[in-house]
């Protein structure tokens, strides 16, 4: 493809900002939680249908795949965007506030979808000048394990694909920046639940009970020592107890307590060591207190590990894109992303597109007042599009 055509694509993406914004805000006002995004999926399908872009629906669930075949032979490159929302009340005071009680796009997936749809529309206009095939993966259920990536992959969304690229609009990085990382970038994320089974009784007679609150409190302290004292300090790991529920009255000793939390690692072997240590600690604390327990551990998303060649490729091309103000190798983060399953199967990379609001407070992802600079969608679209187009020469 000539440089002049690429510049035309940049211009058309920039000129499509209002359409991108309209799509994002419509989706923001009509969010759907993970695995129930039926109307959102229908919206995406209708967008492609109106443009006569070939697409397939119900891929692994609510997933959609659209394909654009260029006028010249070449590689098959996939681009991915997720479209599920979170069970979080939208507390922003904006005209496009969520209209669904207790549900909001508090992570930017509405922006990811708008970005990919408009990019597909622009590339469709230039398909005769393009080499290769472009696969647009619209994924459901990213926010909740087991996620939508695995079933979409099992349904064949990566069949014949040579490489994949994806981005996340990130409200904590300056708008206009591209933030990448070679190798481990995002952690694997697991969920655990512990039920302590003691023997309740009167608060005035603790000697006749097996106090689940006291046992649970001891367990929280002991679990923290797994990372601090059992895991090699050069291996990043997090063990967080995020929920502790027990008791019903001030003068009753609880007979049961429920704890739940998450484990984050970059190394599968470290994950398995933590699980083994947790089982040992839980068993030991409960045995000492004469209590029983139930321990359930869900292995969630695997760590996201970017491929070196594709990551460095994006880092270099990003420096040439109009509107990109900074290209930085970022630190790894302990949040998780099921894009990890795509790059576990084929070459590719995932990067953050800075989207920090230019005014006001920058709230973190999954916050009730989360929002982002919508102009960042233009930068994301141009970067993803350039990666897909230029990868034909790699």
- Just list the catalytic residues: 84, 142
Backbone angles phi, psi at 334, to 5 degrees: -90, 0
End-to-end Cα spacing for the chain = 13
Contact by Cβ (8 Å): 141, 301: no
CA nearest to 161, candidates 228, 56, 65: 65
Q: Residue 50: how many CB atoms within 10 A of its CB?
A: 9
Distance (Å, rounded) from C-alpha 102 to C-alpha 383?
A: 33
Burial pattern 277-288, b for ≥16 Cβ within 10 A else e, equals bbeebbeebbee
> Regarding beta strands 163-170 and 72-82, do their DSSP bridges make them parallel or antiparallel, or are they unpaired?
parallel
Q: Is 119 exposed, middle or buried (0-12, 13-18, 19+ CB in 10 A)?
A: buried
Distance (Å, rounded) from C-alpha 219 to C-alpha 259?
A: 9
User: Which 3 state secondary structure label does DSSP give 375?
Assistant: coil
């Amino acid at each position: 493809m000539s440089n002049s055509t690429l510049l035309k694509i940049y211009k058309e993406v920039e000129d499509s900002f209002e359409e991108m914004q309209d799509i994002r805000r419509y989706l923001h006002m009509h969010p759907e939680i993970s695995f129930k995004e039926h109307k959102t999926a229908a919206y995406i399908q209708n967008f492609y249908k109106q443009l006569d872009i070939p697409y397939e629906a119900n891929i692994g669930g609510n997933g959609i795949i659209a394909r654009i075949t260029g006028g010249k032979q070449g590689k098959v490159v996939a681009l991915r965007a997720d479209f599920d929302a979170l069970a979080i009340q939208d507390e922003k005071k904006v005209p496009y506030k969520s209209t669904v009680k207790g549900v909001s796009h508090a992570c930017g997936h509405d922006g990811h979808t708008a970005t990919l749809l408009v990019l597909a529309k622009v590339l469709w206009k230039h398909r005769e000048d393009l080499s290769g095939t472009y696969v647009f993966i619209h994924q459901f259920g990213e926010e909740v394990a087991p996620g939508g990536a695995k079933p979409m992959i099992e349904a064949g969304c990566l069949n014949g694909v040579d490489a994949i690229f994806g981005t996340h609009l990130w409200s904590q990085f300056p708008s206009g920046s591209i933030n990448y990382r070679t190798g481990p970038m995002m952690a694997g994320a697991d969920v655990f639940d512990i039920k302590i089974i003691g023997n309740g009784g009167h608060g005035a007679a603790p000697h006749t009970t097996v106090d689940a609150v006291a046992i649970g409190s001891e367990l929280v302290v002991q679990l923290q020592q797994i990372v601090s004292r059992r895991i090699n300090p050069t291996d990043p790991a997090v063990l967080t107890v995020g929920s502790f529920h027990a008791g019903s009255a001030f003068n009753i000793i609880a007979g049961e307590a429920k704890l739940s939390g998450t484990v984050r690692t970059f190394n599968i072997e470290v994950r398995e060591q933590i699980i083994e240590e947790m089982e040992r600690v839980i068993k030991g604390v409960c045995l000492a207190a004469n209590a029983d327990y139930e321990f359930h551990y869900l292995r969630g998303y695997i760590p996201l590990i970017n491929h070196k060649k594709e990551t460095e490729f994006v880092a270099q091309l990003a420096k040439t894109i109009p509107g990109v103000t900074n290209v930085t190798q970022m630190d790894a983060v302990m949040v998780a992303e099921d894009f990890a399953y795509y790059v576990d199967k084929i070459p590719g990379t995932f990067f953050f597109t800075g989207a920090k609001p230019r005014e006001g407070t920058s709230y973190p992802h999954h916050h009730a007042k989360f929002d982002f600079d919508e102009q960042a969608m233009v930068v994301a679209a141009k970067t993803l599009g350039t990666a897909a187009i230029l990868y034909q020469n790699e």
